Structure 1
């Protein structure tokens, strides 16, 4: 391969399109949702529920309001839900939802159906809204040079139409409006698959097998919804690495990172942590891989007894979801179902470690599948001990130059709150060579034409 021509990595967030007067704010989605939710629900064959609020007013709601709101006091969702959509999509109150639908077989089936309707309807409306964006071709007054590679968090083709960007250099990490199936929107807190033991219950031996543990079936339905609405950032990062490889981007050549109109929200911190790691001197790609995150000693020591304990920790982590989203909330299911009123011993740290290890096992398999596809395409065997796409890229390219200095970050900040958040994130990531700019125009002044 020839030497990389790329020197700039440009990260584009929602504020970038808003700066270009494109109505892509979550407030715009809230308005679209309110206007079209009943119409789309009916088109999908979903129910519309008429409820009476505390003031006596009748309101029409859908499964979205039942599941993402309070099912015991159903109402229209608060504006805050939409303004912080991604952060709020993991705040399903699993215990309250289970309690509302009940333990009967009919109730559990209705729970599963309603949860599925809620996430399907919300996604459909979001995708429909994204498809309404119509970007006019205009001269923005800026042009991103050919040595710039874009990590685009938006779904639009603004960069191609207004900034002269080659589509090959514009990687849409969450999909594009022209392909609704590619669109990713959600939280980043439940990337592991829902534990099948929650519904199979093979490891639980109730005194009366006919009774079983029905609430675990409902809990599984909520866990599945949380999994389906997760961004799966590790998968997106793998896609990003493949895109770098396809375009011949040597990440060690990136000198400048521009963050334009991005809020640096917690839901996207995995991306920024990864980008920071791979643009620093002395980065070991294998350490960043799924295998690199595994506790090999723990996994190697798993016998039947320890495996059962591992599964129980995973189950406990799932049942403790309500306490994580609201530490002050009462634990409705704090006691065992056998009536002994014994509280189950629980360590949040141990459970989190168990869940994390299970996730990295799952991720390692998915990354390995990608590597094997690349191996077939490139005709170069995966070297022993290679578990990272960037490591494989380095291998087939006969080794890359060592980075001489850490990349410099340039961040646009719309408000004082943005500046405060940016400084906090830079400190957490250990980044010292950065600059904050009061506007996107100021941040990309070097690209003015």
Structure 2
């Protein structure tokens, strides 16, 4: 590498955006399909998707069967799809509980008692809400297992020279992963985990879909359905506001690198904010992994749709 190029690498202000593909490229088994299998790995995996009901111990304290909860969460998130959950978070915005609820037209059809059916709706959605309140803790439990397995075999810890060369005091990293792979492997700490890390008490997990208000469909359950949708909603505007110092500091960024970042709809507000803050002459480098190259045309279009007017290139 020429000396002039080395000096240029050290002085240019750059931002690196890291997504799940970064962890995958560093041998962590963090595909969402792994979380799917984690939820499926229980004794209820072949049963119908009933909303679980609570049990009570001898002190009268309420609790749920973990396997029942996992099975229910899997069935609801899976829906009618048969894939590997690449769009896992977006699925959370399109949950459908209609099979377990009485619609307005069905009230009273079973025993002639509309009030009884309304109470059933209320109880079922309350239990569904409680079940989904466990989703984040289950996700963190699964991911912690993945990280523990990875840490147990340090022979798989291999850094990427092309990435290492980008790291210096002028580099900022926006990390969408909950792991600390950058910090642990590259000993680099200028990292903003926009959605939190596994060492936090909680992480940010959710969808970006805002359902339009509709007429009441499931008497006794509608308010809880709305509450559940809101609890699973990823409020990107609020997150950006909470990290405004980070984004405001991007004003002189000349290079943006993405590594394993999929430009999913739920995360595009962050991309739009970055484009709004960085230099208008900035160059955006898309990592040339097999997956990212296959989606390059889509990524380029998303950048342009969000008013990026700089140069777009590939990097290895």
Structure 1 224/425 Cα, relative in aligned 2: closer, same or farther at 3 Å? Answer: same
* Distance in 2 of aligned mates of 1:420 and 1:179: 36
Aligned-residue offset at 1:189: 1.7
Aligned-residue offset at 1:118: 3.3
What residue in structure 2 maps to residue 190 of structure 1?
A: 210
**Contact 2:93–2:229 (CA<8 Å) still a contact in 1?**
yes
Aligned-residue offset at 1:175: 0.9
Aligned-residue offset at 1:69: 5.8
Q: Does 1:111 align with 2:132?
A: no
Q: Does 1:63 align with 2:69?
A: no
Aligned-residue offset at 1:22: 0.8
**Contact 2:73–2:131 (CA<8 Å) still a contact in 1?**
yes
Aligned-residue offset at 1:38: 6.0
Q: Does 1:435 align with 2:303?
A: no
Q: Does 1:170 align with 2:183?
A: no
Q: Does 1:409 align with 2:284?
A: yes
* Distance in 2 of aligned mates of 1:163 and 1:106: 55
Structure 1 425/128 Cα, relative in aligned 2: closer, same or farther at 3 Å? Answer: same
2:64 to 40, 43, 46: 46
Structure 1 434/68 Cα, relative in aligned 2: closer, same or farther at 3 Å? Answer: same
Q: Does 1:157 align with 2:175?
A: no
Cα deviation digits, residues 76-104 of structure 1 (max 9, x gap): x7543723201211112365554369563
Q: Does 1:419 align with 2:290?
A: no
What residue in structure 1 maps to residue 169 of structure 2?
A: 146
TM-score by length of 1: 0.53
Cα deviation digits, residues 142-176 of structure 1 (max 9, x gap): 2511211111000111111222312xx21101110
Aligned-residue offset at 1:61: 7.5
TM-score by length of 2: 0.73
1:84 to 68, 87, 99: 87
What residue in structure 1 maps to residue 59 of structure 2?
A: none
**Contact 2:102–2:121 (CA<8 Å) still a contact in 1?**
no
**Contact 1:112–1:221 (CA<8 Å) still a contact in 2?**
yes
Aligned-residue offset at 1:407: 1.9
Q: Name the SS for the 1:259 alignment partner.
A: strand
Question: Tell me, which stretches of 5 or more residues in structure 2 are unaligned?
Answer: 1-10, 46-51, 56-61, 108-113
Q: Name the SS for the 1:253 alignment partner.
A: coil
**Contact 1:38–1:48 (CA<8 Å) still a contact in 2?**
no
Q: Name the SS for the 2:198 alignment partner.
A: coil
* Distance in 2 of aligned mates of 1:149 and 1:124: 29
Q: Taking CA–CA contacts closer than 8 Å with sequence separation of 6 or more, which of the two structures ends up with the larger relative contact order?
A: 2
What residue in structure 2 maps to residue 268 of structure 1?
A: 267
Q: Name the SS for the 2:136 alignment partner.
A: helix
* Distance in 1 of aligned mates of 2:228 and 2:168: 42
* Distance in 2 of aligned mates of 1:123 and 1:431: 34
Which one has the largest radius of gyration? 1
* Distance in 1 of aligned mates of 2:41 and 2:311: 42
Structure 1 125/78 Cα, relative in aligned 2: closer, same or farther at 3 Å? Answer: farther
Q: Does 1:253 align with 2:128?
A: no
Structure 1 425/108 Cα, relative in aligned 2: closer, same or farther at 3 Å? Answer: same
* Distance in 1 of aligned mates of 2:26 and 2:245: 29
Aligned-residue offset at 1:232: 1.0
**Contact 2:77–2:95 (CA<8 Å) still a contact in 1?**
yes
Deviating more after overlay: 139-148 vs 100-109: 100-109
What residue in structure 2 maps to residue 18 of structure 1?
A: 24
Q: Name the SS for the 2:233 alignment partner.
A: coil
Q: Name the SS for the 1:150 alignment partner.
A: strand
**Contact 1:233–1:271 (CA<8 Å) still a contact in 2?**
yes
